[in-house]
Amino acid sequence: MSKAASKAYSKLSTGKLSGWSEKSFEAPGHGTIMGKMFLQDQLQLTGCQISINSYAPGESMPIHHSHKENEEVYIFLSGKGQMQIDGETFDVAEGDVVRVATGVDRIWRNNGAEVMTYLVMQVREGSLNQCNMGDAIIPEKAVSWPV
Ligand code: ZN
**Which CATH number fits the domain that encloses residue 103?**
2.60.120.10
CA of 67 to the centre of ligand 1 (A): 6
Inside any domain, residue 54: yes
40-92 residue pLDDT tens: 999 999 999 999 999 999 999 988 999 999 999 999 999 999 999 999 999 99
Inside any domain, residue 17: no
pTM: 0.91
Inside any domain, residue 23: no
128-141 residue pLDDT tens: 999 999 999 999 99
What is the arithmetic mean of pLDDT over 87-113? Answer: 98
CA of 131 to the centre of ligand 1 (A): 23
CB 51 within 8 A of CB 106: no
Inside any domain, residue 74: yes
The residue segments making up the domain with residue 97 are: 39-127
Inside any domain, residue 69: yes
CA of 139 to the centre of ligand 1 (A): 38
Inside any domain, residue 142: no
Q: What is the pLDDT of residue 4?
A: 56
Inside any domain, residue 6: no
Inside any domain, residue 90: yes
Cβ contacts of 108 within 8 Å, gap of 6 or more: 60, 61, 74, 81, 82, 83, 84, 92
Structural domain count, the chain: 1
Q: What is the pLDDT of residue 30?
A: 81
How confident is residue 6, by pLDDT bands cut at 50, 70 and 90? low
CA of 7 to the centre of ligand 1 (A): 28
CA of 66 to the centre of ligand 1 (A): 6
